[in-house]
Structure 1
Amino acid sequence: MAHFNEINTTAQGNTKRLQKSIPDTMKSFKDLQDAAYAPGALDKKTKEFAALAYAIADKCEGCIGNHVNKLIKLGASREEIAEIAGVAIVMGGGPGSVYGGKALQAYDDAMESR
């Protein structure tokens, strides 16, 4: 099983490759992210929880690792990650239970390396 620190490092490296190859597109994508995650009616933590639920349901390991790390910085607990995984299971069915477990693995891996 892949360790989420390795998954995150690989995902970040791939993003850097894209930034070098298609800088205008990636800058626009970053601007979109910044706008979408800016606090408004919902705070950043709530938006990150929504993104994590989608990442689990959509089975994106790089996204799971990224959003779990952001949530840790925003003070999220393992219990909150587990409850979001539960919501994702409802939305994503059986695969959500596999990838919800991966979200907890990402949390545990991130906390282990601190």
Structure 2
Amino acid sequence: MFNNWSELLPTIQKAFGALGKSNPKMVKAYMALGEAAAENEVLDAKTRELISIAVAITTRCDGCIAAHTDAAIKAGASREEVAATLATAISLNAGAAYIYSLRTLEAYDSLKG
């Protein structure tokens, strides 16, 4: 197993609360980002959480994976929907790696002169 997700999520939540006590304005601003994203209700909670999982995968954030997978489950996401989300994230990451590979070759050619 990569992580003990059942232990990771409460550990993150506890640490999040501790940081909030140290810097309440920062945590309030952080929480406001999620609230603002949900405010217009164009996307339902399940869709927002599936998108969040894809972003968590591409940014390699275990805490984000735990939190947003839990939220997706609570929003009614099926395992199949999560798997489809992962396929999308994988395809995007591969595409991004390809584009940045092209940029790297361009940098090499430019710097080599």
TM-score scaled by length of structure 1 = 0.75
**What's the counterpart of residue 90 of structure 1?**
91
Q: Deviations over 1:16-35 (max 9, x none)?
A: 12101000111121122111
Unaligned runs of 5+ in 1: 94-114
SS at match of 2:87: helix
Amino acid corresponding to residue 26 of structure 1 in structure 2: V
The whole-number CA distance in structure 2 between the counterparts of 1:61 and 1:24 is 24
Alpha-carbon distance in structure 1 between the residues aligned to 2:45 and 2:76: 11
Identical-residue share of aligned pairs (%): 38
Which letter maps to 1:19? G
CA deviations 1:54-88 (Å, max 9, x no partner) are 00111111101111111111111111111101011
- The alpha carbon displacement at 1:50 in A equals 0.8
Structure 1 residue 7: Cα displacement:
1.2
Q: Indicate conservation of the 8 Å contact 1:38/1:44, yes or no.
A: no
- 1:56–1:88: 8 Å Cα contact kept in structure 2? yes
Answer yes or no: is 1:38 the counterpart of 2:32: no
| Cα distance in 1 for residues equivalent to 2:93 and 2:7 | 25
Q: State the partner residue of 2:18.
A: 17
Q: List aligned pairs for 1:6-85, cutoff 5 A.
A: 6-85=7-86
Q: Match for residue 111 of structure 1?
A: none
Unaligned runs of 5+ in 2: 95-113
Q: Which has the higher contact order (CA 8 A, sep 6+)?
A: 1
Residue 58 of structure 1 aligns with an amino acid whose one-letter code is T
Rg (Cα) greater in structure: 2
